Chain A
Amino acid sequence: MKKKKRGVQKWRIAVFFVLVAFFAGLIATNVTDHADDIRLGLDLQGGFEVLYEVTPVGEDQEVDRELLTDTVAAINARIDVLGVSEPNVTIEGEDRVRVQLAGVTDQQSARELLSTEARLSLRDVEDNLLLDGSDFVEGGARSNFHGETNRPIVSITLRDANQMAEVSRHVMEYDPPDNRMAIWLDYDEDDSFAEEINKEDSKIVSAPSVTRVLNTTDIMIESQTFTVEETQHLAGILNAGALPVQLDEIYSNSVGASLGERAMDLAITAGFIGIALIFAYMLLYYRFMGMIAVITLSVYIYFVLVVFNWMNAVLTLPGIAALILGVGMAVDANIITYERIKDELRSGKSSMSAFKAGSRRSLSTILDANITTILAAGVLFYYGTSAVQGFAIMLITSILVSFITAVFGSRLLLGLWVNSRILNKKPKLFGVKESEISEL
């Protein structure tokens, strides 16, 4: 039989360069777009986060899924008053709501606005409850002007006109000057009318005297000091927060914008340094295969950014750490494969069969190693709180992407070279000395 001449298959190498050029072009043209589009967590751009515990106000009320959903809707509406873009309000556990506002410029007023429970209640001078939030029409508060004086006022609407009549009759039983109906915002059990009415920053918005039975569903909240802006704000908060639940802050975290930016700059610089070190080491140690590793790692980093964008994920500090850790996992997969290939070369196999055997034998090792880490990340996601969950998602994504690029990408690119036969009998390029090769 005539021996077929086995020449170098140049087309494979051409395909390699086309692929590399394609990825280089892809990365060069839109990596910055993807990087810019990624939403940053509040630890990286400043902002604040509060975890509220939801407790019912009325005794017959129960904290259930529906009430929590309503609360989230109310908080969202309140954030709308603030005009914050991309707020993140989530239900956590059975009675908690987490509010994350990233990139809020005026943190102080945002916090004040959020923490105002906006529980409106009408009480007599002895602090007996007459009407509370549940008696008002939800979303019925409006910023308005007084018909006669033209002063800015807030008007709210009651569900039932009879209630108002009853309440005003009750208040009229008191002798002047105690025939007053106090309109409270955020009344607490230890507050009292006598104390609060004289305070400068009083919780009592107004306390009009009642001289006749009011048979109406509309209540006017007046104050001598109201400005149009204040009434708009108050109406906004009342509409948003007219839900009868109490929110207690049990965890809060706020990051100053400059501290956040600084943390991000540092983490990104650190990331670049770490990755540069890894690239240098891989090139130095694995020579030609190291170059393949550098290419696949770059593609990995690009893909992780794209997948992140696509998932609409929020990048946080632990997230950056997970990303860099993912680089480590990808490097490990490369190292496991390359060491296997070197082993096979040393045992005397040809480049092509060493590559084939090395890739095949390393796969199950890499798979086992990755699955155990995903297992740990999965547990983190399931049991963790928001920051840890973000980390877990990022870690899982990183592992999956690293598996694809480091195993298949590396195999494809290295395979093009090896199968072109150009590397035949050049073990040095794989970092294997001739003297180490044992004869078969």
Chain B
Amino acid sequence: MNFNHETTKLDFVKHRKKFFTFSAVLISVGIILLSTIGLNLGIDFSSGTTMDVLADETVTEAEIAEEFASIGLEPDDITLAGDENDVGRAVFIGVLSQEETLEAQRHFEELYGSVPTVSSVTPIVGEELAMNALISVLIACVGIIIYVSIRFQFMYGLAAIVALFHDALFILAVFSIIQWEVNIPFIAAVLTIIGYSINDTIVTFDRIRENMKLEERVKTFEDVSRVVNKSLIQTLARSINTVLTVVFAAGALLIFGGEAIRTFSLALVVGLVAGTYSSLFIAAQLWAVLKARQLKRAKFKSQDVQESEA
């Protein structure tokens, strides 16, 4: 894979409206889903108890339910996990009392020889966690905008943040569609993607900035799109290779990493792909549109000045 910007005929800017439309549709669908069915919030964000039971053999939901019934507990939801369906996850809405928890742990330890994992959260803690996560995201965004504006220009920062929100929303939309349980590591994944997405965008912007300096005249939208296309093609091999290698790592975690980090790794994989997509097809194009508008305004201004002088 080598991309020569003089011979490669890829016009990223020309099709910008298609990319914008594609993302807009996906994100609108996501927002609609988020506001209707919403996310499948794990007990980290609502409140309740989850209990992971590791059995020594393949189990069914009915078996797990029966075992819980035998000690007088009725889980609100039971799902199976593990390669051979040997992990049962029972979710209880509302926090179990300590006696109930201990009773269940003893029961399953006797039954399968291993102590179940129990996690419970009261509503206050869950709400606080969700709030803190949101605040963290906003603060991170402000910090990044400030940094990019200082190192580059405000317009780059603006385009980068739009791409960043695009990626964060993209992950949320996907999780709203597939209804996987969202937990604290998910928040960690979203925040990592925010860092990563900006990372990706910065690399292409870096090249655009460099190529802008090399250009003798950039006056029209055509000039701007030429620079953007050239920069994107020059960084294309890097963009593809980087996302491929990182997806190798995140993908291995997703496939082989076990249930405990599955949500985390899926969010990473989705976010990485979205991040690369947005820096190739959204951020640079958006910057091109903004830049062209700025150039146009500057031109009118200089015409005004000339007219008034005349």
Contacts and interface: CB of A to CB of B under 8 A. Distances in A.
Contacts of A342: 2, 237
Contacts of A365: 202-203, 206-207
A388 interface: yes
Q: Bin chain A's interface residue count.
A: 35 or more
Nearest to B235: A339
A282 B191 contact: no
A391 interface: yes
B129 interface: yes
B226 interface: no
Interface stretch (B14-22, B66-74, B115-123, B300-308): B115-123
Given A250-B124, A274-B252, A321-B253, A108 B105 contact: yes
Interface stretch (B193-201, B213-221, B284-292): B193-201
Contacts of B252: 270-271, 273-274, 277, 324
Given A373-B195, A375-B143, A256 B249 contact: no
Contacts of B98: 111-112, 115, 249
A388 B194 contact: no
Given A249-B98, A266-B258, A278-B249, A380 B129 contact: no
Q: Specify the main secondary structure of chain B where it touches its partner.
A: helix
A267 interface: yes
- Specify which of A108, A364, A372 lies most central, judged by the most chain B CB atoms within 10 Å of its CB: A372
Interface stretch (A80-88, A159-167, A257-265, A413-421): A257-265
A51 B187 contact: no
A256 B136 contact: no
A108 B191 contact: no
Contacts of B129: 385
A368 interface: yes
A317 B185 contact: yes
Nearest to A320: B261
Given A254-B118, A343-B234, A274 B241 contact: no
A364 B206 contact: yes
B52 interface: yes
A391 B187 CA distance: 11
A375 B52 contact: no
A346 B6 CA distance: 12
B249 A327 contact: yes
Interface in B100-142: 101-102, 105-106, 109, 113-122, 124-125, 129, 132-133, 135-136, 139-140
Nearest to B146: A375
Interface in A284-335: 285, 317-318, 320-322, 324-325, 327-329, 331-332, 335
Interface string B260-273: 11001100100000
A372 B202 contact: yes
B188 to A, nearest CB: 5
A270 B253 contact: yes
A133 to B, nearest CB: 21
B28 interface: no
Nearest to B198: A372
B296 to A, nearest CB: 29
A152 interface: no
Contacts of A51: 125
A201 to B, nearest CB: 10
Nearest to A328: B246
A406 interface: no
B297 interface: no
Contact of B115 (A257, A285, A368): A257
B136 A383 contact: yes
Contacts of B188: 318, 321, 380, 384, 388, 391
Contacts of A271: 249, 252-253
A255 interface: yes
Contact of B241 (A115, A318, A335): A335
A335 B257 contact: no
B139 A383 contact: yes
Contacts of A372: 144, 147-148, 195, 198-199, 202
A98 to B, nearest CB: 11
A369 interface: yes
Interface in A76-95: none
A107 interface: yes
Contacts of A370: 199
Contacts of A181: none
B115 A107 contact: yes
A439 B52 CA distance: 65
B250 to A, nearest CB: 8
B195 A376 contact: yes
A131 interface: no
B253 A324 contact: yes
A174 interface: no
Q: Closest 8 CB pairs between A and B? A: A274-B252, A266-B258, A376-B195, A373-B195, A256-B115, A328-B246, A274-B249, A270-B256
24 contacts: A115-B98, A251-B122, A267-B253, A273-B252, A273-B256, A318-B261, A320-B261, A321-B188, A321-B253, A321-B264, A322-B192, A328-B242, A329-B199, A332-B242, A371-B147, A372-B198, A373-B192, A373-B196, A374-B195, A375-B144, A376-B195, A377-B192, A383-B139, A387-B185
Given A112-B102, A253-B120, 6 more contacts: A48-B118, A255-B117, A324-B249, A335-B245, A370-B199, A387-B184
